Amino acid sequence: MIGVLALQGDVREHVRALTEVGAAARPVRRPAELDDVAGLVIPGGESTTMSKLADVFEVRDPIRKRIASGMPVYGSCAGMIMLATEVLDGRPDQRGFDGIEMTVRRNAFGRQVDSFEAPVEIAGVPGPPFHAVFIRAPWVERVGADVAVLGRVTDGPAAGRIVAVRQGNLLATSFHPELTGDLRVHALFADLVKAAG
């Protein structure tokens, strides 16, 4: 069973994508629901709102503990921000889950009107470049020694920016694969969860 953190954001879209790749998936909002899942998706949405709601629903510490114990987690867009150990351009009171040793810049590509789509090749994902949808997306400015860079923007003014990473059982993209119909990132994460046992 894979949970999708249901505090805010693209919850249904991730549940649907996971189901389409053959995984059992359901929304998770409370600590007791977190106990019943083998992996977790942190969806795109608004990271400052998620940060506040993680405290309201008392899931911040349980998620941190599960991450520390090896639970696979995938974060897309705001989920990438929530998994980062350092966030630039966030609110001073914003707190995440400190899973991936990386520095991300919030809304790095610009405002909502600056949202765009671009091809991104993702290491370990066979097939053509991924059609990535970036909506007020972050990018990664620094990664730790144990973080593998899986994808970068290849075109335009943001060429070379890191947009997909993995550290152990933790995976993050700054784009929204749940919106494209291309299920390869979700399949990769479902395989990660299976391998983690």
Integer Cα distance of 31 and 189 in angstroms = 22
Integer Cα distance of 42 and 50 in angstroms = 9
Residue 14 annotated to the active site: no
Residue 101 annotated to the active site: no
CA torsion through residues 54, 57, 58, 63, sign? negative
CA torsion through residues 53, 96, 129, 122, sign? negative
Terminal CA-CA length for the chain: 11
Query: Residue 46 carries which DSSP code?
Result: -
Residue 20 annotated to the active site: no
Q: Which of 13, 33, 176, 186 is catalytic?
A: 176
Q: Which of 13, 14, 33, 77 is catalytic?
A: 77
Q: Which of 13, 33, 178, 186 is catalytic?
A: 178
**Cβ(25)–Cβ(2) below 8 Å:** yes
Total count of residues recorded for the chain: 197
Catalytic residue set: 77, 176, 178
